[in-house]
Each structure stands twice: as structure tokens, then as C-alpha cells.
Amino acid sequence: MSHDNGKMQAEALFASGQLYRDIGKIIYDRRTALDWTQVHLAKLARLNVSVIRSIEAGRPVSLETLSALLRVFKIDPRDILPQGAPEGTWFAHLDLVASATQLKKTMRQCSDYNLAIQKLRDIIGNISKTFNLPEIPARLPIDHYSHSVAFTSGERQDLLEIFGRRIQIFRTLQGATASQIAHKSHVSLTSLSLIEAGLRNPSLETVYRIAEGLAVSVYYLIPGIHDDADLLRSLDMTAWAMSAQSQLEALADLESIIGHLDDIASH
């Protein structure tokens, strides 16, 4: 995969390894101040003690591991992590409060959408039966992001999905494809896709690369006690609305196909 020639801020931030050493020292200082052993911390964070030793020695740490430790110590990520990319206020123009109010009103007026969707399913199903087409395997509905995008203590098992959804939110708000953000972030498209789906635990450096590619601060991406839950839910709602809008093109294609089939059947 080709990348831009310029070096990323994230690359410079992690080049010397000093950031990992700083994180390791903070974890060590917090642990010893509480008179905890590495074994005790490992149990609280549900990590292997060798991982604690590695982190305190200044070696690289993943997002999930770091988040587990931040949760145990109740540390705000802003207290130990540099901002990296500019905070990013390119989404500040969105009138999120007005949008939320209007959406509630709109959804009350669209209470029959389930019936409309079922009618579409019936039409396509009948067409398929006419041509004796094999049934399409059932696909699970989109449920990767069914929980809140805001941090909730004790949700370690959901952290990677929350992180992945936040990436998708900011990518959608920019109208960017996964390929475009992968290129800007200097990560592979496969890696970004797996991270968005909550199926890969990225390194802290990768987190910074993606934040830089999205032009937002890592603080918007990393779940933690600093979260602005209302802002995140509003951004999430806006991204879902934009995704819904993108389906209009597919609906127009479906309308055209059914129209052609109707023409053919009439002759």
C-alpha cells in the first residue's frame, strides 16, 4: 500500500520509545504508591503478570491493555497521553441538539417503516421464487455497535467495539471510505477494517496514527472516564443518519430493477 511521503506526527511521537517508557513509569509509580505488587495489579486488571512487567519496563502497550490499567487506577487518558493530532473541531458545525430533537419527531412519524421493509422483502422473495433462485443465507443485522459508544466502567469486553465504532463515526461524518482513512493513517485497509469491527486490538501507536488520519484527538477515540457521553451519542446518531441516507442510492437501484422486470413481464 502506498503512503504519503511526509512523516506522521504519530511516527515521530513513538520513534524513540520514550512515550512507552513514560507510561511504564506512571503505572509503576501508581502501583507502588498503593503498595500493590505486580501480581495484585495483574489480577485487578485481568492481565498476565508478565504484561505488567513488560509495560513497566517501557515496552509497547496495546489499546485494550492500557485501557484496563487506566480503569483500575481511574486515570483520565488526558493525564498521561499527549494529544498527538490537533483536537479537531471540523464537526463543530453540526447542530447536534436540534438534530436529536428533530429525529425523535421524525421517527414518531415513521412508525410504519417496519411494514414497508417487510413489503419489500415479500416482493423480492416472490421474484426469487418465480425464477427458482436459491435462498440468500440469513445475515445477522448490524449489531456490532448495539451498546453505547460512551465509556462505562466494567465494559472491558466491549472496549474494542466501542473504539471501532468511534472510528467509523468520524469516518462517516467526513464522508470518507475506509480505504481513504487507512491511507491517511498509514495502516493497511485490512487492519483498519478489523479494528472498526472490534476484531483487532491495536497498539497505542496505531491508535495515534488513526486519530491523525481522522484529524481528531486520540481523546475522542479512546474510551475513558473523560468521555462526553452526550456529544458521543449525538455524533453516533448523526453518523447513523448519514449511513441511512447513503442507502437511498441502493433503493433507487432496486426501484429501477423492479421497474425493468415489470416491463419485461408486460411484453
pLDDT band at 5 (very low <50, low <70, confident <90, very high): very low
Which has more confidence, 63 or 231?
A: 63
Q: How many angstroms separate the CA atoms of 109 and 17, rounded?
A: 55
Residue tagged 480505504 (cell numbers): 179
Neighbours of 192 (CB within 10 A): 26
Q: Which amino acid does the sequence have at 137? A: P
pLDDT band at 2 (very low <50, low <70, confident <90, very high): very low
The count of residues in the chain is 267
**Each residue's pLDDT tens digit, 149-175:** 877 765 555 889 899 999 999 999 998
